[in-house]
Structure 1
Amino acid sequence: MTQRFAKAAAIALSMAIATPVLAENHADMGADTVVATVNGTEITLGHMILVRQSLPQQYSQLPNEVLFEGILEQLIQQTALQDSVEGTPRRVEMAIENETRSLMAAEAVGEVLASAVTDEAIEQAYQDTYGNAEPDMEYKAAHILVETEEEAQAIVEELEGGADFAAVAKEKSTGPSGPNGGELGWFGKGMMVAPFEEAVVDMEVGAISAPVQTQFGWHVIKLDETRMKEAPSLDEVREELRGQVEQEAVKAHIDALVENANVDKSGVEGVDPALLSNTDLLE
């Protein structure tokens, strides 16, 4: 929907909800139930339900009675406006084609997900991801960051002389962790820049490093603790794996469809990509 159409729809609904009328509730009514006609064009309960689903969040708190009358009046107004236009502009036809394409694609994706995302698929994804994974070492460290190697070396000597690491970090570190005594918390491999990580991996618990240079400056590192991180349980990563299964299933389905489709992109030749911004072509 274009910005102009969306704005018009919002204005119409805001006007319509000003005078709510109670609607009777009949459990036997279906989507094809006709609630109004405009110049012979039927407006059904299904049309109204779809509008309700597409409303912005700000309308969700309104009572059903208010929404019912507002949506109905919006559809009546839109139908009357539709009838006032002679013919269907090509830009509208193309917008309808795009919307139909998008909605049908969503239906196809929904069908794929309904059959692909099973407990068995999630359990298999867990085995594939974590079944043979080796426990990873994690490190808890603190650091003091300064601009020059000379400053870092002086800090090393100060610490070796018995100075408190956290106090020195609060006083001299230029890094964001300085006010917290230089504490970095727990981290695993790949989470720190290479020179920093390499230095930590080679350290003993409780040790103070020699000056270490990275693109951020010079670091003096203290290794506080290490631990082995075991693989998470299935329940801990179930939702993450569900998303992975969904993504892989949809991608495989789409790839297969496109591969077997008769796709001809020869029309792309000679088309300037800048034309995407030329809305005059829609007129």
Structure 2
Amino acid sequence: MKRYLILVVLACFTLAGCAQDTKESDRNARLDENVVAQVAGESITEGDIEEIISHIPAQYRTKYSSPQGRKEIVDGLVEMKMLAWEARRKGIDKQESVKVKIGYIIDQALAKELENDLKESVKVSEADIESYYRENLDKYVTPERIKARHILVEKQGLAEDLLGRLKKGADFQELAKKHSTCPSAEKGGDLGWFGRGKMAPEFEKAAFALNKGELSDVVKSSFGYHVIRLEDKRESKTKTLDQVRKSIERTLQKKQADALIAELKDDIRKKAGVTVNEEYFSKFKEQGRPGVEKVREPAEPEEE
């Protein structure tokens, strides 16, 4: 998978920047640079390798910045240029279908670079960041959560008896395993961490009112009778502006960049005279895929 990834990056780099044969004068001019390899007189420089590494996804960048990773990049680039050189020698690059493919890839690379330039031009002010934080404060609140155990039984009398035994020092987990009808019994009644809105209302009210290590009274719910012990509690916390500043900045940058790109596309559409032949699509409206029945035809009304 990683090998495929690096080949894709190399392909995009090669087609976007190095797809054409290098003139003899250019080859000679590049000999004085920090050349890493050459293919048919075309140099691959340290700058080329750094450019490729900069386009590798962050999670793989460290690997390909190592000596072994750089060798893999160079080997892949050399192999690709060797095969591309042979393909040009055979005239494959002159085939119409290949020209179309290369054209699409170059257009895609150019469009992506233009979008990246627009994104990099966006500057988010501190005032915008602070305003977004205030208006979206609820996004940065971690609700109160608790960790609890419980014993669930069908009879109130048994629940009262178990509560009394617990208050005298009986082992909660052992009693839960022996008496509780909840699936959590096999874990000693452990319910793990949960927030509000996850449990029956009566259970939730009693559980969240407890202090760490405290036992509840017998609690009745639609499931039966509970005895609850609070294991731990995490109070509600709100992330500070400093903690989320970078995240907010990225969000606002994307929002503003998307707006700029949409505006640019509208402007280009007018300047470039973009037209679409809608009749092209009408040819396909009544055509279904072979062997696939139409499944969304409106049903005929039944006769009374």
Provide TM-score, normalisation by structure 2.
0.54
Q: Quote the Cα distance in structure 1 between the aligned partners of 2:275 and 2:148.
A: 57
Q: Which amino acid in the other structure matches residue 245 of structure 2? A: R
Q: 1:142 is matched with which residue?
A: 148
Q: Quote the Cα distance in structure 1 between the aligned partners of 2:53 and 2:141.
A: 50
Structure 2: unaligned runs, 5 residues or longer: 12-29, 291-304
Q: Which amino acid in the other structure matches residue 122 of structure 1? A: I
After the TM superposition, which segments of 4 or more aligned residues of structure 1 sit over 6 Å from their partners? 132-137, 271-275
CA contact (8 A) 1:200 1:223 kept: no
Q: Quote the Cα distance in structure 1 between the aligned partners of 2:113 and 2:158.
A: 61
With CA pairs under 8 Å and 6+ residues apart, which has the higher RCO, 1 or 2?
Answer: 1
CA contact (8 A) 1:123 1:234 kept: yes
Larger Rg belongs to: 2
Q: Which amino acid in the other structure matches residue 231 of structure 1? A: T
Q: Quote the Cα distance in structure 1 between the aligned partners of 2:161 and 2:277.
A: 69
Q: Which amino acid in the other structure matches residue 115 of structure 2? A: A
> Displacement, 1:161?
3.5
> Displacement, 1:127?
1.8
Identify which range, 223-232 or 241-250, moves more after superposition: 223-232
SS in 2 for 1:222: strand
Provide TM-score, normalisation by structure 1.
0.57
SS in 1 for 2:136: helix
Q: 1:280 is matched with which residue?
A: none
Identity of aligned residues (%): 16
Q: 2:204 is matched with which residue?
A: 200
Q: 1:240 is matched with which residue?
A: 247
Q: Is the alpha carbon distance of 1:253 and 1:85 closer, same or farther for their aligned partners in structure 2, counting shifts above 3 Å?
A: same
Number of residue pairs the alignment of both structures matches: 239
> Displacement, 1:236?
2.4
Q: Which amino acid in the other structure matches residue 148 of structure 2? A: A
> Displacement, 1:234?
1.3
Q: CA RMSD in A?
A: 5.0
CA contact (8 A) 2:144 2:235 kept: yes
Q: Quote the Cα distance in structure 2 between the aligned partners of 1:198 and 1:247.
A: 44
- In the TM superposition, what are the counterparts of 1:32-71 in structure 2 within 5 Å? 36=38, 38=40, 42-43=42-43, 45=45, 49-51=50-52, 57=60, 59-62=64-67, 66=71, 70=75
Q: Quote the Cα distance in structure 1 between the aligned partners of 2:226 and 2:172.
A: 10
- In the TM superposition, what are the counterparts of 1:113-262 in structure 2 within 5 Å? 113-130=120-137, 138-144=144-150, 150=154, 156-163=159-166, 164-171=171-178, 172=180, 175=183, 179=187, 181-185=189-193, 187-189=194-196, 192=198, 195-196=199-200, 199-201=203-205, 204-205=209-210, 206-207=215-216, 208-213=218-223, 220=226, 222=228, 224=230, 229-257=236-264, 261=269
> Displacement, 1:170?
4.5
- Picking from 84, 87, 105, the partner of 1:82 is 87
